Chain A
Amino acid sequence: MDFRLTSEEETLRRQVERFVREELIPLEPVFEGAPDIFEGSRWKSRAKVSRDPEVHRYIAIIEGLKKKAEASNLWHLDVPKRYGGREVSNVAMIAVTEELEKAAVPFELGNHVSNILYACKGEQVERFLLPCIRGEKTACFGLTEPGAGSDPSMMAATAVPDGDDFVIDGTKMFPTFGDVADFVQVFARLPGTKGREGVTCFLVDTGHPGYRVVRSIETIAGSEPCELVFDGCRVPKGQVLGEVGEGWKLNQAWLGARRFQVGIRCHGTALRVLRRVAELLRSDSRERERLAPALGHFMGELEALRSITYHGSWKADQRLDVRFEAASVKLFATELLHRAVDFGLEAAGPAAFRKEHAIARAFRYARPRRIVEGASEIQRHMIQRTLFREGTACLELQ
């Protein structure tokens, strides 16, 4: 048993640690007052279409950071080698994100590439995948519907084969950046299918006839997911991602790997909140005496979260089934962040409820986490299902 990062992973972690210390931490005061649009991690596409000069001032700062990161070979970390990336392990990406999260600056290393796009084949690679890796295009994810979220059997959008094409009809709710993305990864079912069978994923360009962005929906967290409508949208079968009828597997794969990143992000956000609380207590010994036990409790919770996040991503690196671990991390991380932020507000008082205050931001960011990408209730469902199927074998040490 060995809990250390490999020397390669440790070198990368140190490199990122230095980047954060030298480049990001000094920018924290600058971003403290940044517009809402920079919240969360995937602000890029929306911010770029903004007409607000203030927003573009921040974009310029981030573009500068990107150049520095590229120069240090820190840009395409999780991109497979065959597409010019470094293909570092899941564990390494957790360590990288843990370091990045130490700075309250909305900066990620790398362009956001939805991992299901690695299922691209033939000309799809040039048209969809590579532009995403290069940061020239962004994609949105069209799965949820007005009447279907976590349960695939409720999915109503259809894809009817017609010659060499499919005709897609249906409505998709809440794809983040649906209004600014270059294409959508949309899920629809073949006629006469039920449950997860027949679900197929298509890549459809924004502006394709029959595909419309109806509206964007403002949310508590500053992101503006959209409502998309597909109305007789005719797509050639060359735009099926993966195999026809195998779309649900892609969705599962997308969620599986992401969960551990969600875990370490929640860890980082909660830690930044607790750091603010600790700063307040440093100069107030009476408050410190009162709140130290609660603060310590949350630090312990964060250690617990960190340990299962690393364990899960290590297991993913071994190419083992991590659905149980992923569900545990998603549930524990998002519920913990919510509680930690709640405590942070109690400790810091109404002053921390000012909209631009770090804790107030975390408060808005934390709430949707317990819903998006599988609500806590779904995670508990997944966990109990594995427990009843496998017994405690799923908790045994291997």
Chain B
Amino acid sequence: MDLLLSEEERLIRDTAARFVAQELIAREVAFLKQKEPFVPPGDPARRTLDDAIEKSLTEQAKRIGLWALELPEGAGGSSVGQVARVLIYREFGRTALPFEPPPIPAALAASPYARALASGELSLALAFDETHKTGDLSAVRAAYRHRSGGYELASDGMDVIRPDANLYLLPALEHESGDVGLFLVERGAAGVRVDSAADLNNDKVVARLTLSACAVPRDSRVGGGAEAEAVIASEQLRIAARSLGIAMRCLEASLEHARNRVTFSRPLSSRQSIQWMLADVAVALRTSTWLTLEAAWKADQGLPYFCDAALAKTRAARMAFEAADTAIQIHGGYGVAKEFPFESFYREARMMRLLYGREAEVDRKIGERFAGTGL
């Protein structure tokens, strides 16, 4: 057993940490202080990261290997492995500035779009809405059928976060065989309809994606059920890693505030109620850290890791939510103020708990398996 980071892992972690501190957290206050009038979606007055800034951050991140983490170098990615990926997303989780390497699943490595996705020329949305409740493929309803020269996709509607992306990646089911395929579809393709855009509570936009007799070429199938499951597990690890970062930041800021804030002539840090809230966050953070790293390590070793990733995700997202909740409570009115990152973390963590497997569902599956096999 060796739970120290390797030389390479430490280098990657430190690179990401430096970038996040110097480029992202440094811009956070200005970003958070932007006024955000109550306006309809798509209105330019909403609080967003300036385009020029985003572009320059993207270029910097690419230069230092913090981009297209899942794609091999041949496809323009940095192909870092899951442990390193967790270390990277953990750093990006520490800021409320909405910037991180977009997930581009490894299944796309051989796709003709891979290079354009890696360079940022094209963007990708994971249309995995039907997997959010169970965290697996059992509820997939989008359908595919063979047709000459390729496939035909059909879906009577699913939510897609980031609907303005150029490409959608989605799992679809062949009803007769029960086979699940993973498909890459252009937003502009015939039969693709995207409408009813709406704001989400976590500053993202969601829209309704409908596919009616959508014909796609053969090479748009980039994988089967196993690849689709790997996308879910990989997203679960990303969420778990972000959760760790959120909790680290919340804990750090809460400790600092508790040291400085004086009430009734004593610092908050001397109050047991405050001390214990923070102790509980620290213990939960510790357990989530090692569950997440072990799941990622198993993935890198080629061991089965889907269950571990699901468990790490549900626990970590919940833990981050509670860490943000604690930070808000300790910061009082500042905690809910949009000038501070905590309310933003709180909203984000609540959303992460809803993605790629609800807590009760992941728990139920583990329980069923244990009651069924005794393992």
Contacts and interface: CB of A to CB of B under 8 A. Distances in A.
Chain B contact residues, majority secondary structure: helix
Contacts of B3: 1-3, 311, 314-315
Interface in A52-111: 91
A300 B290 contact: no
Nearest to A299: B366
A394 B279 CA distance: 12
Nearest to A328: B283
A216 B365 CA distance: 47
Contacts of A91: 1
A22 B289 CA distance: 36
A398 B362 contact: no
Given A392-B252, A398-B4, A288 B368 contact: yes
Interface residues of B, number: 53
Interface in B288-305: 288-291, 293-294, 297-298
A395 B255 CA distance: 13
A379 B280 CA distance: 11
Contacts of B368: 288, 292, 296
27 contacts: A1-B6, A5-B1, A278-B374, A282-B372, A293-B360, A295-B363, A295-B367, A295-B370, A296-B362, A296-B364, A296-B368, A297-B367, A311-B286, A315-B3, A328-B282, A331-B279, A332-B287, A380-B279, A380-B280, A381-B275, A383-B279, A384-B279, A387-B282, A388-B259, A388-B275, A391-B252, A391-B256
Interface in A1-21: 1-6, 9
A281 interface: yes
B85 interface: no
Contacts of A314: 1-3
Contacts of A277: 371
A387 B278 contact: yes
Given A1-B5, A296-B365, A383-B282, 18 more contacts: A1-B6, A2-B2, A3-B294, A275-B374, A282-B374, A291-B367, A292-B368, A292-B371, A293-B367, A296-B363, A296-B364, A299-B366, A310-B1, A310-B290, A314-B1, A314-B3, A328-B286, A387-B251
B87 interface: yes
A32 interface: no
Contact of B248 (A6, A379, A392): A392
Interface of A: 1-6, 9, 91, 274-275, 277-279, 281-282, 288, 291-297, 299-300, 303-305, 307-308, 310-311, 314-315, 325, 328, 331-332, 379-381, 383-384, 387-388, 391-392, 394-395, 397-398
Contacts of A304: 287-288, 290-291, 315
Interface of B: 1-6, 9, 13, 83, 87, 248, 251-252, 255-256, 258-259, 269, 275-276, 278-280, 282-283, 285-291, 293-294, 297-298, 308, 311, 314-315, 360, 362-372, 374
A296 B366 contact: yes
B256 to A, nearest CB: 8
Contacts of B9: 1
A91 B3 CA distance: 12
A290 to B, nearest CB: 10
Nearest to B372: A282
A299 B370 CA distance: 8
A295 B293 CA distance: 24
A304 B311 CA distance: 9
Contacts of B298: 3
Nearest to A280: B371
A388 B248 contact: no
Given A308-B286, A384-B276, A3 B311 contact: no
Given A296-B364, A328-B286, A274 B5 contact: no
Contacts of A398: 4-5
A1 B291 contact: no
B83 to A, nearest CB: 6
Given A308-B286, A308-B290, A296 B279 contact: no
Contacts of B367: 291-297, 299
Contacts of B291: 303-304, 307
B255 A392 contact: yes
A377 to B, nearest CB: 8
A396 B46 CA distance: 35
A392 B251 contact: yes
Contacts of A297: 363, 366-367
